[in-house]
A and B are shown apart, each in its own frame.
Chain A
Amino acid sequence: MADTTAGTIYDVGYQRYEGVRLGRRHAIWALYVHSLRGVFGIGRSLSSKVGPMGLAVIALVPAIFQLGVAGVTPTELSVIRPEEYYNLIEVVLAVFCAVVAPELVGRDQRTRTLSLYFSRALRRQDYAVAKFAALMTGMLAITVIPQAMMFVGNGLANDFGDYLQDEWTDLPSILGSAILLSGLIAGIGLVIAAQMPRRAYATVGILAAFVLTSIIAGSVFEAADQNVGRFALLLSPFHVVQGLTLWFFDVAPGSGTQLAEARFSGVVYAIDAALVTLLMLALLFRRYERISP
Chain B
Amino acid sequence: MTLIRTVGLTKRFAKITALDALDLELEPGIIGLVGANGAGKSTLIKLLLGLLEPTSGSGEVMGFDVFRQGPELRQFVGYMPEHDCLPADVSATEFVAHMAQVSGLPRAAARERTAETLRHVGLFEERYREMRGYSTGMKQRVKLAQALVHDPRLILLDEPTNGLDPEGRDEMLRLIRRIGSEFGIAMILSSHLLGEIERVCDHLVEIEDGRLVRSVPMTVLTAPTSVLTVEVDGDGDRLADRLREQGVTVSRSGRFLLVQKEDDALLDLVRDSVVDLGLGLVRLEQGRRRLEELFQSQPSLEEEEDLRG
Q: How far is the CA of A23 from the CA of B101 in the complex (A)?
A: 9
Given contacts A15-B116, A17-B113, contact A119 B51 (CB under 8 A): yes
In the complex, are the beta carbons of A19 and B109 less than 8 A apart? yes
Shortest CB distance A63–B (Å)? 32
Evaluate contact between A22 and B86: CB separation under 8 angstroms. Answer: no
Assess the A121–B51 pair: CB atoms within 8 A: no
Q: Which residues of B contact A293 (CB under 8 A)?
A: 51
Give A187 to B179 CA distance when docked, in angstroms.
43
Cβ contact of A23, chosen from B49, B85, B87, B104, cutoff 8 A:
B104
Tell me whether A22 and B105 are in contact (CB under 8 A).
yes
Residue of A nearest to B158 (CB): A115
Binary contact track B67-111/A, C-beta < 8 Å → 1, others 0: 000111011110101011111111000100011011111110100
> CB of A198 within 8 A of chain B?
no
Q: How many residues of B contact A (CB 8 A)?
A: 42
- A22 near B104 with CB under 8 A, answer yes
Cβ-defined contact, B101 with A111, below 8 A: no
Q: In the complex, which of the residues A23, A115, A123 has the most CB atoms of chain B within 10 Å of its own CB atom?
A: A115
Q: Are B71 and A17 in contact (CB under 8 A)?
A: no
Residues of chain B within 8 A of A43, CB atoms compared: 90, 94
B71 and A23 within 8 A (CB): yes
Check if A111 sits within 8 Å of B84, measured CB to CB: yes
- Known contacts A17-B113, A19-B109, A121-B74; A111 and B87 CB within 8 A of each other: yes
Answer whether residue A20 sits at the interface, using C-beta atoms and an 8 A cutoff: yes
Please tell me if the beta carbons of B102 and A30 are within 8 angstroms of each other in the complex.
Answer: yes
Contact of A27 among B89, B94, B101, B109 (CB under 8 A): B101
B contact residues around A286 at 8 Å (CB): none
Contacts of A120 in B (CB 8 A): 74, 99, 102-103
Is residue A107 contacting chain B, with contact meaning CB distance below 8 A?
Answer: yes
Does B60 belong to the interface (CB within 8 Å)? Answer: no
Contact in complex: B85, A27 (CB < 8 Å): no
Q: Does B146 contact A (CB under 8 A)?
A: yes
Query: Is B102 a contact partner of A27 (Cβ separation < 8 A)?
Result: yes
- The answer to the question of B130 belonging to the interface, with a C-beta cut-off of 8 Å to chain A, is yes
Q: Which residue of B lies closest to A122 (CB)?
A: B71
Query: How far in angstroms is the closest Cβ of chain B from A72?
Result: 44
**A16 B99 Cβ-Cβ under 8 A:** no
How does the 8 Å CB contact mask read for A115-155 relative to B, with 1 for contact and 0 for none?
11111111100100000000000000000000000000000
B141: Cβ under 8 A from any A Cβ: no
What's the minimum C-beta distance from A14 to chain B, rounded to whole angstroms?
4
Known: A26-B101, A45-B130. A113 touches B106 (CB 8 A): no
Residue of B nearest to A108 (CB): B87
Cα A126 to Cα B74 with chains together (Å): 14
Q: Counting CB contacts under 8 A, is B183 at the interface?
A: yes
Asked if A121 and B71 make an inter-chain contact with CB atoms under 8 angstroms apart, the answer reads: yes
Interface string of B102-143 (1 = CB under 8 A from A): 111111010001001000100000000010000000000000
At the interface, yes or no: A263 with Cβ under 8 Å from chain B?
no
B150: interface (CB < 8 Å): yes
Q: Which A residues lie within 8 Å of B146 (CB)?
A: 116
Q: Flag if A117 contacts B102 (CB, 8 Å).
A: yes
A108 to chain B, nearest CB (A): 8
Q: How far is the CA of A21 from the CA of B106 in the complex (A)?
A: 7
Which residues in B have their C-beta under 8 angstroms from that of A158? none
A27 lies within 8 A of B84 (CB):
no
Contact A21 B130 (CB under 8 A): no
Q: Are A19 and B87 in contact (CB under 8 A)?
A: no
Known pairs A19-B105, A20-B106, A43-B94; A121 contacts B75 (CB<8 A):
yes
Closest to B48 in A: A119
* Residue on A nearest B70 in the bound complex, by CB: A123
| From A13, A34, A118, A121, contact of B103 by CB (8 A) | A121
Which residues A1-57 have CB closer than 8 A to chain B? 13-17, 19-24, 26-27, 30-31, 34, 43-45, 48
Alpha-carbon distance between A45 and B87 when the two chains are bound, in angstroms: 13
Q: Ordered nearest first, which 3 A-B pairs have the shortest CB separation? A: A17-B151, A30-B101, A119-B79
**16 pairs of residues in contact across A and B, judged by CB atoms under 8 Å:** A14-B182, A19-B106, A19-B109, A20-B106, A21-B104, A23-B72, A23-B75, A27-B71, A43-B94, A45-B130, A111-B85, A116-B85, A116-B146, A120-B99, A121-B102, A122-B102
User: Which A residues contact B (CB, under 8 angstroms)?
Assistant: 13-17, 19-24, 26-27, 30-31, 34, 43-45, 48, 107-108, 111-113, 115-123, 126, 292-293
